[in-house]
Structure 1
Amino acid sequence: MAKLVLDLHDIYNKGSQIDRALREVIDEAIAKKIDLVEIIPGKGSGQLKKKVLRFLDQKEIKALYHRVDKDSKNFGRLFVHFKHKQRKK
């Protein structure tokens, strides 16, 4: 299964870049029909993870993906699942 990985460690303190990076990875997943995006906000204080979840919870963003899973083994990781509509032939 193809997946994209977005590691936010380098831009953890740059709010606008984080939103842009999240938007870009979601758009890329849709364009390339990729089923899974792994987002790595890292462990830290949990603030970045909350920011990512708030971003994903926006109505227009929520409409783009199927569901979000938190990694039970790794607090610093989220999975965004997509369901792509199959084109009818």
Structure 2
Amino acid sequence: MTLTLDLHPLFRNERDIDRAVRGIIFKASVTKADRVEIIPGKGAGKLKARVLAMLGQPHLKKLYKRYEVDASNDGRIFVHFK
């Protein structure tokens, strides 16, 4: 099962972005999802950098196995749980 989070509607509010990313990571961990697809978009890269920094936080990092930026679309991040 793959969960998807599109951050386009939230790009202006940093608190909502943080809450949404944390929420989907926690939800995937609880529901035993295989991976999460986070779509920060291409843009200037600030939103993507913010998401990657969040994924590096120790309390989130222990919940997933690894993450990767999609090779064919750098506006998409995959977080793998298994």
> Which TM bucket (shorter chain)?
over 0.9
> Partner letter of residue 3 of structure 2?
L
Deviation at 1:27, TM superposition (A): 1.0
Q: How does 1:1-89 map to 2 (within 5 A)?
A: 2-83=1-82
- Structure 1 unmatched ranges of 5 or more: 84-89
- Structure 2 unmatched ranges of 5 or more: none
> Partner letter of residue 55 of structure 1?
M
Q: Structure 1 stretches (4+) deviating beyond 3 angstroms? A: none
Identity of aligned residues (%): 51
In 2, Cα distance between the equivalents of 1:55 and 1:14? 15
More helix by share: 2
In 2, Cα distance between the equivalents of 1:28 and 1:34? 8
User: RMSD in angstroms over aligned alpha carbons?
Assistant: 0.6
The aligned length equals: 82
Higher-Rg member (1/2): 1
**What TM-score do you get using the length of structure 2 for normalisation?**
0.97
**What TM-score do you get using the length of structure 1 for normalisation?**
0.90
In 2, Cα distance between the equivalents of 1:50 and 1:69? 13
Q: Match of 1:86?
A: none
